[in-house]
Amino acid sequence: MREEKSYVIGTHDAEIERLGVQHRVWRASVLDLWRQGGVTVGQTVLDIGAGPGHATLDLAQIVGRDGKVIALERSRRFLAALSAFAEARGLANIAAVEADLLEYEWPHAVADRAWCRWVLAFINDPAKVLRGVARALKPGGKLILQEYYDYASWHLAPRAPAFEAYVAKIIAKWRASGGESDVGLALPRLLPEAGFAIESVRPVVFAARMNDFNASWPMGFAREYLPVMERDGDISAAEGKEIAALLDRYQADPDALVITPGVLQIIATKL
Ligand SMILES: C[S@@+](CC[C@H](N)C(=O)[O-])C[C@H]1O[C@@H](n2cnc3c(N)ncnc32)[C@H](O)[C@@H]1O
């Protein structure tokens, strides 16, 4: 069996579950973005860096029997999860393709829409991927993107300096792995250079109390990433314990808020 191609967050079962929570928190916003970007029945849609396919499944239901979703993903574990989810839902219009986005031979003018969320942040040459997406889209086709523009804007309130130091270490870890957490800031230049006209840019941030479902995404990630940071030596065991205790305190506090790291939702048209 070939080696699993993981990335800085991981492709284990708990991560498949976590990406599901993340998708459900963002689902309403994303459905609105897709509608704004003209995703509809009968289209061919690329899901670029699809992960285990939580968004792919929604896209497949929207495009319907006469449409198709091509899910590009490097992790074999994620692809296997995606195929199992699709089968369980009786969705036969998904092509799950094992591909490294930096090596993929992009087909020419096959797609009406392309969706890419939280992928370019992990890639050391996002411009190359955008050129590939431009090739794969039909003229007038649209790329719909969601990426962070200011990961350090992730806060707990009341302010928690130890939490902010942890976030800074997560950002450093991602950068050391060759990615750029705030890749959203590069997109206004990278997109036109790759042959796109930017149609709309929407910054999205939300604040949630700890008992709000929306809080389960950032708070869950903060907690679940602790063992990874510890394992890789990015934080000490003592720091890990201190941050876990801090998260416990905030999650028990009815007045506490989490303010999510800023993302940009961008719609761009292939010229
Ligand atoms: C944070 S996950 C996002 C998954 C999905 N887009 C979502 O929003 O649920 C990032 C995904 O990018 C994939 N990825 C990272 N680098 C990649 C590459 N070079 N080629 C293909 N996929 C890649 C990872 O395997 C992972 O599935």
CB 244 within 8 A of CB 227: no
Ligand 1 center to 67 CA (angstroms): 23
Amino acid symbol at 90: G
Residue 109 in any domain: the answer is yes
The alpha carbons of the chain give a radius of gyration, in whole angstroms, of 19
List the residue whose alpha carbon is closest to atom 8 of ligand 1. 117
- 51 Cα nearest atom in ligand 1: 27
Question: Could you tell me which residues come within 8 angstroms of residue 257 by beta carbon, excluding any fewer than 6 positions away?
Answer: 156, 157, 207, 208, 209, 210
Residue 134 in any domain: the answer is yes
* pLDDT, position 56: 98
SS3 (DSSP) at 263: strand
* pLDDT, position 157: 98
- The torsion angles phi and psi of 231, rounded to 5 degrees, stand at -55, -40
Residue 237 in any domain: the answer is yes
* pLDDT, position 82: 96
Query: Is the beta carbon of 55 within 6 A of some atom in ligand 1?
Result: yes
Does the pTM of the predicted model rise above 0.85? yes
* pLDDT, position 132: 98
Structural domain boundaries enclosing 92: 13-270
> Using CA atoms, how far apart are residues 264 and 271, in angstroms rounded to an integer?
21
Phi-psi region of 135 (alpha: psi -120 to 50; beta: other; left: phi over 0): alpha
Query: Is the beta carbon of 75 within 6 A of some atom in ligand 1?
Result: yes
CATH assignment at residue 148 = 3.40.50.150
Query: Is the beta carbon of 54 within 6 A of some atom in ligand 1?
Result: yes
User: 10 Å Cβ neighbour count for 231?
Assistant: 10
- 6 Cα nearest atom in ligand 1: 25
Residue 5 in any domain: the answer is no
Q: Both tokens of residue 72?
A: 């590009």
Ligand 1 center to 50 CA (angstroms): 6
CB-based burial of residue 205 (10 Å sphere; 0-12 exposed, 13-18 middle, 19+ buried)? middle
> Using CA atoms, how far apart are residues 98 and 69, in angstroms rounded to an integer?
14
CB 126 within 8 A of CB 183: yes
Ligand 1 center to 178 CA (angstroms): 14
Q: Both tokens of residue 166?
A: 């942890």
Query: Is the beta carbon of 74 within 6 A of some atom in ligand 1?
Result: yes
User: How many domains does the chain contain in total?
Assistant: 1
> Using CA atoms, how far apart are residues 138 and 129, in angstroms rounded to an integer?
16
Largest CA distance in the chain: 55
Residue 76 in any domain: the answer is yes
The full length of the chain comes to: 271
Residue 7 in any domain: the answer is no
- Ligand 1 pocket test target in 119, 143, 224 with most atoms within 8 Å of CB: 119
Residue 1 in any domain: the answer is no
Give the sign of the dihedral formed by CA 172, CA 173, CA 179, CA 180.
negative
- Going residue by residue through the chain, which has 271 residues, state the pLDDT in tens, using 9 for 90 and above: 467 887 777 788 888 899 999 999 999 999 999 999 999 999 999 999 999 999 999 999 999 999 999 999 999 999 999 999 999 999 999 999 999 999 999 999 999 999 999 999 999 999 999 999 999 999 999 999 999 999 999 999 999 999 999 999 999 999 999 999 999 999 999 999 999 999 999 999 999 999 999 999 999 999 999 999 999 999 999 999 999 999 999 999 999 999 999 999 999 999 9
Q: What is the DSSP letter of 36?
A: H
Chain segment 143-181, per-residue pLDDT in tens: 999 999 999 999 999 999 999 999 999 999 999 999 999
> Using CA atoms, how far apart are residues 38 and 216, in angstroms rounded to an integer?
30
Residue 110 in any domain: the answer is yes
CB-based burial of residue 1 (10 Å sphere; 0-12 exposed, 13-18 middle, 19+ buried)? exposed
Chain segment 178-202, per-residue pLDDT in tens: 999 999 999 999 999 999 999 999 9
* pLDDT, position 2: 65
